[in-house]
Structure 1
Amino acid sequence: MPLCHCAVKHSESDMEGCRFSPDRGLRVHLHWKGGEEEEKYRTYIQGTPCAEEICIDVAQEIGITPICYSLFALYNPQAKLWYPPNHVFDISNGMKLTLHFRMR
């Protein structure tokens, strides 16, 4: 059973567009990430990952253990919306969306 319950099965290549980067794509704000010199965002610039895949990717990047993944989710502060784990983001070149990776 896949970790994500998305309608589309994703491969490692879907996550290749992930990197620390400036202003375009889907940006995930990391509230507690490192010191001043480290990036405070994880940016996805291509692909169609689901929210659960993004949460797992970010959690692994910042050292959250697998047992605690389910305590975190993606939050849109402007829309006051929590995204469910199966929400699929269609990330395109024109997308500009900033979400917060937070404990639920």
Structure 2
Amino acid sequence: MHDLVAFLEANSALVLANPAAFATFAVLFGGGGFVVGRYLLTERMANLESRIARRDEEIAELKGEQKAPKRERSMVPLIGTTAICPSEPERLPMPIAQLRAERKGNQRV
């Protein structure tokens, strides 16, 4: 950068004498450099854009899998076990007074 400043200081008289020619060459060389750089980097930019598109598709796939999780097999062994139905009422022991009252109602006279 220091060399560029020194070059401009040394040639400032030439630039000030012909500003139109300096501006023309600056635009030509600047534009030419941009076009050449764009041409050389077009393939790289297309590659990066395709990678971005592929990543977006992968993200969409992973979000779709996340919504519908796969069912795994139960880790509880089913052979030799019994099932308890929670809808059945639990059988608790009756109080003795209630038991005697039921027996008296069932006796034949």
Question: Whose helix fraction is larger, Structure 1's or Structure 2's?
Answer: 2
User: TM-score under structure 1 normalisation?
Assistant: 0.17
Normalising by structure 2, what TM-score? Answer: 0.17
Structure of greater Rg: 2
- Structure with greater strand share of residues: 1
- Relative contact order, higher structure (CA 8 A, sep 6+): 1
